[in-house]
Amino acid sequence: MKKLIIPKQIVTVNKLDAILKNHALLIEDDKISGILGKNEIELSAFEGEIYEYPELTLIPGFIQTHIHLCQTLFRGLADDLELLDWLQLKIFPYENAHNQASLKISAQLGINELQLGGTTTILDMGTIRHQEVIFEELINSGMRAFAGKCMVDKNGLMPQFKESTDESLNSSYELAKHYHNKTKKIKYGFAPRFVLSCSERLLRDTHDMLQEFNGSLYHTHSSENRSEIEEVRKMTGKENIEYFNQIGILGNSTVLAHCIHLNELEIGTLKSTGSRVSHCVSSNLKLGSGIANIPQYIQNGISVSLGADGAPCNNNLSIFHEMRLASLIQKPLHGPTSMDAKTTFRLSNIEGAKALNLENEIGSIEVGKQADLVLIDLERPSNPLNDSEEKIYSSIVYSSERIDVKHVMIGGQWVARNGKSLHYDENELLSLGKKELKSLLNRVD
Ligand SMILES: [Zn+2]
């Protein structure tokens, strides 16, 4: 069935950054098949569904390149701690206590929140066990995602929360075999947690598996916290990025969350290897980790995209908070012109697509691309009232909230209409979530 969307305007994020008024978007199956001038369309003769939104702005679906769906249930249970304490005292014990039911509701809560906020693609890091639950939920919800079980084969912070190297490698391989490209929207993202919880063999052998699964990714954390990089130095005698480079895991299929504490050599190494940085600004502030020099990375041509990280270190999965903070936090350091609204907006769509090597499929509104779309209401008294093009970016990055997202489509299928999920009932999520959290907390060692 064809669909025709006629919005107030289309923010394309194409090569010209065109903003189109008096245009309609034609969708066939999962793809954008035409962008038509209004006078080219004969509505009465159109065979398909017509969606007319004269008040709403059509933008590309948002892309978040670092998420932990498995942690959504733990929101508010790990506040005001720094990274290593946060992991040791709270997050590792909670993740270790997950069963299939608690993991499922955690994923549902996360996906519901992300989709209602206009996020249509994620790169997710799972937990050690029951990864199939997350994949099944991603598939049921219509989300576009890279996901993978979290790999941990040593753990000084919580020794019982780990697997043997072979177990971790073999189960990741089997999951990738089963789920990579299982549907058009699902791909595997291998996910060794971070240097301190992974042996060198685990890190290397995981990277070797990328070759067998074309289009898969390598997803890990790096250089987030000062005590962490101190430990990495003690362990490897190197800075984190230099260590990764030495063992051969960097490249254009590697997405590194955080990358806050880097020296000039490491920045050069990220650039020369084409490695991707996922900037998680709220998480970096809340855990007191630091501020990544994002303007410098962008200036160097390093791929930068955005991610909300997990609910207990944010405590929100809203791309609007990430965009606003990613812009504002740099201004006292680099001046008010740094991280302007348009640059920041692009990190949430086309730059996210590039980070995932999907820039030919998603990240902008262009003919031939997937119909991953958001209709947002910018006609509110709390938005800029001036209708100029540059104010559209300002409106989205500085003034908008998740509640302004009205309709969301992924691959030609609606997942949210009128601010409501088509997959989830929020009352059910809430009551089941409370019940599962209570029993999970009873299972914590
Ligand atoms: Zn993370």
pLDDT digits 0-9 by tens, 77-108:
999 999 999 999 999 999 999 999 999 999 99
Residue 430 lies in a domain: no
- Does 52 share its domain with 92? no
Q: Which residues place a Cβ less than 5 A from the ion ligand 1?
A: 257, 309
Residue 368 lies in a domain: no
pLDDT score at 183: 98
Show the CA angle centred on residue 156, arms to residues 154 and 158, nearest 5°: 90
- Does 19 share its domain with 115? no
Residue 135 lies in a domain: yes
Q: What is the sign, positive or negative, of the torsion defined by CA atoms of 15, 19, 23, 25?
A: positive
Q: How close is the Cα of 66 to the center of ligand 1, in Å?
A: 6
Whichever domain contains 75, its CATH number is 3.20.20.140
Residue 382 lies in a domain: yes
Q: How close is the Cα of 171 to the center of ligand 1, in Å?
A: 21
Q: What is the sign, positive or negative, of the torsion defined by CA atoms of 59, 27, 408, 106?
A: negative
**How many domains does the chain fold into?**
2
- Does 319 share its domain with 212? yes
Model pLDDT for residues 46-67, shown as the tens digit of each residue: 999 999 999 999 999 999 999 9
Q: How close is the Cα of 53 to the center of ligand 1, in Å?
A: 37
Q: Which residues contact 431 (CB under 8 A, 6 or more apart)?
A: none
- Does 46 share its domain with 184? no
Residue 415 lies in a domain: no
Q: How close is the Cα of 130 to the center of ligand 1, in Å?
A: 18
- Does 302 share its domain with 247? yes
Q: How close is the Cα of 309 to the center of ligand 1, in Å?
A: 5
Q: How close is the Cα of 257 to the center of ligand 1, in Å?
A: 7
- H or E segment and range at residue 2: strand 2-11
Model pLDDT for residues 119-157, shown as the tens digit of each residue: 999 999 999 999 999 999 999 999 999 999 999 999 999
Q: How close is the Cα of 91 to the center of ligand 1, in Å?
A: 11
Q: How close is the Cα of 97 to the center of ligand 1, in Å?
A: 18
Residue 444 lies in a domain: no
Q: How close is the Cα of 84 to the center of ligand 1, in Å?
A: 12
157-195 as b/e: b if 16+ CB within 10 A: bbeebbbebeebbebbbebbeebbeeeebbbbbbbbbbb
Residue 79 lies in a domain: yes
Whichever domain contains 21, its CATH number is 2.30.40.10
Model pLDDT for residues 241-278, shown as the tens digit of each residue: 999 999 999 999 999 999 999 999 999 999 999 999 99
Residue 402 lies in a domain: yes
3-state secondary structure of 258: strand
- Does 239 share its domain with 293? yes
Q: How close is the Cα of 314 to the center of ligand 1, in Å?
A: 10
Q: How close is the Cα of 96 to the center of ligand 1, in Å?
A: 16
Residues 304, 293: Cα–Cα separation, whole Å: 11
- Does 102 share its domain with 230? yes
Q: How close is the Cα of 384 to the center of ligand 1, in Å?
A: 34
Name the residue range of residue 20's domain. 2-60+373-410
Residues 384, 394: Cα–Cα separation, whole Å: 8
Closest alpha carbon to 429 in 116, 77, 127: 116
Q: How close is the Cα of 411 to the center of ligand 1, in Å?
A: 27
Q: How close is the Cα of 310 to the center of ligand 1, in Å?
A: 6
Give the pLDDT band (50/70/90) at residue 187: very high
- Does 394 share its domain with 325? no
Closest alpha carbon to 413 in 364, 372, 374: 372
- Residue 40, pLDDT above cutoff 90: no
* Model pTM score: 0.98
pLDDT score at 367: 98
- Does 397 share its domain with 303? no
pLDDT score at 76: 96
Model pLDDT for residues 349-358, shown as the tens digit of each residue: 999 999 999 9
- Does 18 share its domain with 105? no
Contact 320, 117 (CB under 8 A): yes
- Does 226 share its domain with 331? yes
Residue 212: Cβ-neighbour burial (10 angstroms; 0-12, 13-18, 19+): exposed
pLDDT score at 410: 98
- Does 27 share its domain with 71? no
Q: How close is the Cα of 408 to the center of ligand 1, in Å?
A: 25
Q: How close is the Cα of 2 to the center of ligand 1, in Å?
A: 39
